[in-house]
Protein backbone atom coordinates (compact mmCIF):
# COMPACT_ATOMS: atom_id res chain seq x y z
CA UNK A 1 0.00 0.00 0.00
CA UNK A 2 1.22 3.47 -0.84
CA UNK A 3 2.25 5.60 2.15
CA UNK A 4 0.74 9.00 2.71
CA UNK A 5 2.48 12.11 1.48
CA UNK A 6 2.45 13.55 4.99
CA UNK A 7 4.26 10.50 6.37
CA UNK A 8 7.01 10.81 3.78
CA UNK A 9 7.31 14.55 4.37
CA UNK A 10 7.43 14.05 8.16
CA UNK A 11 10.15 11.45 7.72
CA UNK A 12 12.16 13.87 5.55
CA UNK A 13 11.80 16.71 8.08
CA UNK A 14 12.86 14.33 10.85
CA UNK A 15 15.89 13.32 8.77
CA UNK A 16 16.91 16.97 8.30
CA UNK A 17 16.56 17.72 12.01
CA UNK A 18 18.43 14.61 13.11
CA UNK A 19 21.19 15.25 10.57
CA UNK A 20 21.94 18.70 11.97
CA UNK A 21 21.82 17.34 15.54
CA UNK A 22 24.12 14.46 14.56
CA UNK A 23 26.53 16.93 12.94
CA UNK A 24 26.72 18.95 16.16
CA UNK A 25 27.13 15.79 18.26
CA UNK A 26 29.96 14.38 16.14
CA UNK A 27 31.62 17.79 15.96
CA UNK A 28 31.65 17.87 19.77
CA UNK A 29 33.08 14.34 19.87
CA UNK A 30 35.77 15.38 17.39
CA UNK A 31 36.80 18.36 19.52
CA UNK A 32 36.93 16.20 22.67
CA UNK A 33 39.01 13.57 20.86
CA UNK A 34 41.45 16.24 19.68
CA UNK A 35 41.87 17.52 23.24
CA UNK A 36 42.43 13.98 24.50
CA UNK A 37 44.91 13.40 21.67
CA UNK A 38 46.88 16.47 22.73
CA UNK A 39 46.89 15.28 26.35
CA UNK A 40 48.13 11.82 25.34
CA UNK A 41 50.85 13.24 23.09
CA UNK A 42 52.09 15.42 25.93
CA UNK A 43 51.95 12.47 28.32
CA UNK A 44 54.11 10.46 25.90
CA UNK A 45 56.51 13.32 25.42
CA UNK A 46 56.93 14.12 29.09
CA UNK A 47 56.63 10.59 30.56
CA UNK A 48 59.49 9.58 32.80
CA UNK A 49 57.93 6.40 34.24
CA UNK A 50 59.22 3.96 31.67
CA UNK A 51 58.19 1.42 29.11
CA UNK A 52 54.96 0.09 30.70
CA UNK A 53 53.44 3.53 31.07
CA UNK A 54 54.38 4.44 27.49
CA UNK A 55 52.71 1.23 26.25
CA UNK A 56 49.51 2.07 28.12
CA UNK A 57 49.55 5.60 26.78
CA UNK A 58 50.25 4.25 23.28
CA UNK A 59 47.21 1.96 23.49
CA UNK A 60 45.06 4.87 24.69
CA UNK A 61 46.48 7.00 21.89
CA UNK A 62 45.50 4.42 19.27
CA UNK A 63 41.94 4.18 20.64
CA UNK A 64 41.70 7.95 20.70
CA UNK A 65 42.87 8.17 17.09
CA UNK A 66 40.27 5.59 16.00
CA UNK A 67 37.49 7.46 17.83
CA UNK A 68 38.65 10.74 16.34
CA UNK A 69 38.72 9.25 12.82
CA UNK A 70 35.17 7.91 13.18
CA UNK A 71 33.90 11.27 14.44
CA UNK A 72 35.78 13.16 11.73
CA UNK A 73 34.33 10.93 8.99
CA UNK A 74 30.80 11.57 10.26
CA UNK A 75 31.42 15.32 10.45
CA UNK A 76 32.75 15.36 6.88
CA UNK A 77 29.74 13.39 5.62
CA UNK A 78 27.18 15.58 7.40
CA UNK A 79 28.90 18.93 6.79
CA UNK A 80 27.32 19.68 3.37
CA UNK A 81 23.82 19.10 4.73
CA UNK A 82 24.52 21.08 7.91
CA UNK A 83 25.91 23.97 5.85
CA UNK A 84 22.84 23.90 3.61
CA UNK A 85 20.54 23.97 6.63
CA UNK A 86 22.36 26.95 8.19
CA UNK A 87 22.15 28.86 4.91
CA UNK A 88 18.43 28.04 4.57
CA UNK A 89 17.18 28.34 8.16
CA UNK A 90 13.60 29.12 7.16
CA UNK A 91 13.31 26.02 4.99
CA UNK A 92 12.59 23.70 7.91
CA UNK A 93 9.84 26.01 9.18
CA UNK A 94 8.31 26.21 5.71
CA UNK A 95 8.43 22.44 5.32
CA UNK A 96 6.74 22.04 8.71
CA UNK A 97 4.00 24.41 7.54
CA UNK A 98 3.60 22.42 4.32
CA UNK A 99 3.37 19.24 6.41
CA UNK A 100 0.55 20.76 8.45
CA UNK A 101 -1.35 21.76 5.31
CA UNK A 102 -0.85 18.30 3.82
CA UNK A 103 -2.14 16.58 6.94
CA UNK A 104 -5.15 18.91 6.97
CA UNK A 105 -5.96 17.98 3.36
CA UNK A 106 -5.52 14.27 4.10
CA UNK A 107 -7.89 14.48 7.09
CA UNK A 108 -10.43 16.26 4.91
CA UNK A 109 -10.17 13.57 2.24
CA UNK A 110 -10.40 10.75 4.78
CA UNK A 111 -13.66 12.03 6.28
CA UNK A 112 -15.33 13.30 3.13
CA UNK A 113 -18.96 12.39 2.58
CA UNK A 114 -21.58 13.25 0.00
CA UNK A 115 -25.30 13.82 0.29
CA UNK A 116 -26.94 13.05 -3.04
CA UNK A 117 -29.06 15.80 -4.56
CA UNK A 118 -31.31 13.37 -6.36
CA UNK A 119 -33.05 10.27 -5.14
CA UNK A 120 -30.69 8.35 -2.90
CA UNK A 121 -32.02 5.06 -4.29
CA UNK A 122 -30.79 6.05 -7.74
CA UNK A 123 -27.25 6.90 -6.67
CA UNK A 124 -26.30 4.57 -3.83
CA UNK A 125 -29.03 2.10 -3.11
CA UNK A 126 -30.94 2.88 0.09
CA UNK A 127 -28.17 4.95 1.72
CA UNK A 128 -28.91 8.61 2.33
CA UNK A 129 -25.30 9.63 2.95
CA UNK A 130 -22.52 8.19 0.85
CA UNK A 131 -19.01 7.81 2.22
CA UNK A 132 -16.87 8.37 -0.85
CA UNK A 133 -14.31 5.68 -0.01
CA UNK A 134 -16.99 3.04 0.54
CA UNK A 135 -18.87 4.18 -2.56
CA UNK A 136 -15.73 3.97 -4.70
CA UNK A 137 -15.11 0.42 -3.42
CA UNK A 138 -18.69 -0.55 -4.31
CA UNK A 139 -18.24 0.74 -7.85
CA UNK A 140 -15.04 -1.24 -8.36
Task: Specify the pLDDT at position 47.
Answer: 81
Q: How many domains would you assign to the chain?
A: 1
Q: Is residue 128 part of a domain?
A: no
CA distance linking residue 120 with residue 113, whole number of Å: 14
Task: Specify the pLDDT at position 71.
Answer: 97
Q: Is residue 107 part of a domain?
A: no
- The string of pLDDT tens digits covering residues 109-121 is 888 777 778 765 5
Look at the pTM and tell me if it is higher than 0.75. no
* DSSP conformation letters of 69-87: HHHHHHHHHHHHHHHHHHH
Contact at 8 Å (CB) between 37 and 61? yes
Question: What average pLDDT does the chain have?
Answer: 85
Q: Is residue 69 part of a domain?
A: yes
Low-confidence ranges of the chain (pLDDT < 50): 1
- The string of pLDDT tens digits covering residues 12-38 is 999 999 999 999 999 999 999 999 999
Contact at 8 Å (CB) between 67 and 29? yes
Range of the domain at 77: 5-87
**Half-sphere CA count of 122, side-chain side, radius 13 A:** 5
Q: Is residue 93 part of a domain?
A: no
Task: Specify the pLDDT at position 12.
Answer: 92
Quick one: angle between helices 51-87 and 5-46, nearest 10? 150
Q: Is residue 65 part of a domain?
A: yes
φ, ψ for residue 32, nearest 5 deg: -65, -40
Decide: helix, strand or coil at residue 54.
helix
Amino acid sequence: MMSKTSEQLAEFISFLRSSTQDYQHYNTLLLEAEKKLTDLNHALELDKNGYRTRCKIGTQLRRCLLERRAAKDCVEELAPLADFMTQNKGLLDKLSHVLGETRKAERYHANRSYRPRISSATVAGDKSVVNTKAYVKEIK
